[in-house]
Amino acid sequence: MKVETYKIKGWKNLETGLLIDENAKWILVKHISGDYLVDGYKVYNKNTVLKRMHKKDEKLKEKVLSLKKVEAKKPKGFKFGSMKTMLEWSEKKYGLFEFQDFEEEVLFYGKIKKIDKELMRIHMIEPNGKLKKNFDYDFSLKDIQALVFESDYFNSIRLLMQDKKK
């Protein structure tokens, strides 16, 4: 079990997570949103990770997570791939995806409307779970710094979205 803290390009706040897996392009963690609170998963784009830290604070978090019996397991069916394939996986599994780009405080929830090479247009999901189909903005897949799923907020948006369909 290894906890790391990450400095992400353009973000003011540091990110911390329980390392689950990584490859040449991505880092998969169980996200630690505060002290010892594990809240969902994040996949970080390694091109945007400026620094990785594993010091005294991270070792204490490892101890607490071990005592809590938190497991560093991949979510069922998850595989590293291109950002496109990981977004598609999230949408297929959960009905939506969440990502962050260079704007740290902005989270985007949606469904894929169209992907042309490296540009993606989405159907935006609003905080009340409503699908906004006329959201007219192109995202560059290479600007996505983190893909997020299974957090409490993610699951809340998902439930609201499902409730709107009824």
| Structural domain count, the chain | 2
Closest Cα to residue 16, out of 145, 25, 44, 24?
Answer: 44
pLDDT in tens, 13-54: 999 999 999 999 999 999 999 889 999 999 999 999 999 999
Asked whether residue 78 is assigned to any structural domain, the reply reads: no
CATH of the domain at 103: 2.30.30
86-112 tens-digit pLDDT: 999 999 999 999 999 998 899 999 999
CA distances from 42 to 70, 138, 164 (A): 16, 22, 26
Asked, for residue 155, whether it belongs to a domain, the answer is: yes
Domain that holds residue 28: 3-67
